[in-house]
Amino acid sequence: MTGEVGRVALPQHTVDSRLVVVARAQRAEDYDAVLDVLIDAGIRSVELTLTTPGTFDRMPHLLAQYGAVADLGIGTVTSASDLARAADAGASYLVTPITSPAFVAQATDAGVPIVPGGLTPTELYASWSAGASAVKIFPAGQVGPGYLKDLRGPFPDLVAVPSGGVDLAGASAWLAAGALAVSVGGPLLGDAFAGGDLVALRDRAQAFVEVCAR
């Protein structure tokens, strides 16, 4: 699915749900139990992180298990080789914490959506003008939703996904400010990857799904 020329649009589950859950586990085998709960609770977009050992090896299994109902992206991409491998692995989208027009070009050439991180107007515009699918305002907790409203002055077409410290109230505020979606980690996942209560995880996930669906 492509948007304007040279820009690959984000996949539909992500756009429709307006919520990306960043799954950072100790090992890739831990994804399954948590993703079972997240998907059942209505989460439709999960960013698997390359700081989790074994993510690439686990990807075929995860796509077979959840790929029909949810977008599975790969994040924390910090090298051209990892970007190529993530694209080849079937990632629904790619996320990088850095501003790199070269990464945007590489992902676009591969036909895979990419969301590069940045904080300053210069960084965010550099990625957007290079053809990024969206830009990740990171760390979003350091600026707040009003920042996106300010950015929309000079950059009215900017498509943004805030990430980092976005809690339930923040998700609602960022979306009201015009974010395409919000990227959420700790405030939703809590201690789920450390043996935490999965019933509580389900409750938190459902609360975020409800807020983001409004």
Residues belonging to the active site: 47, 136
The answer to whether 95 and 21 are in contact (CB under 8 A) is no
Q: Cα–Cα distance between 94 and 144 in angstroms, integer?
A: 24
The CA distance from 28 to 191, in Å, is 16
As to burial, measured by CB atoms within 10 angstroms (0-12 exposed, 13-18 middle, 19+ buried), residue 55 is: buried
Q: Which of 23, 43, 41 is nearest to 32 (CA)?
A: 23
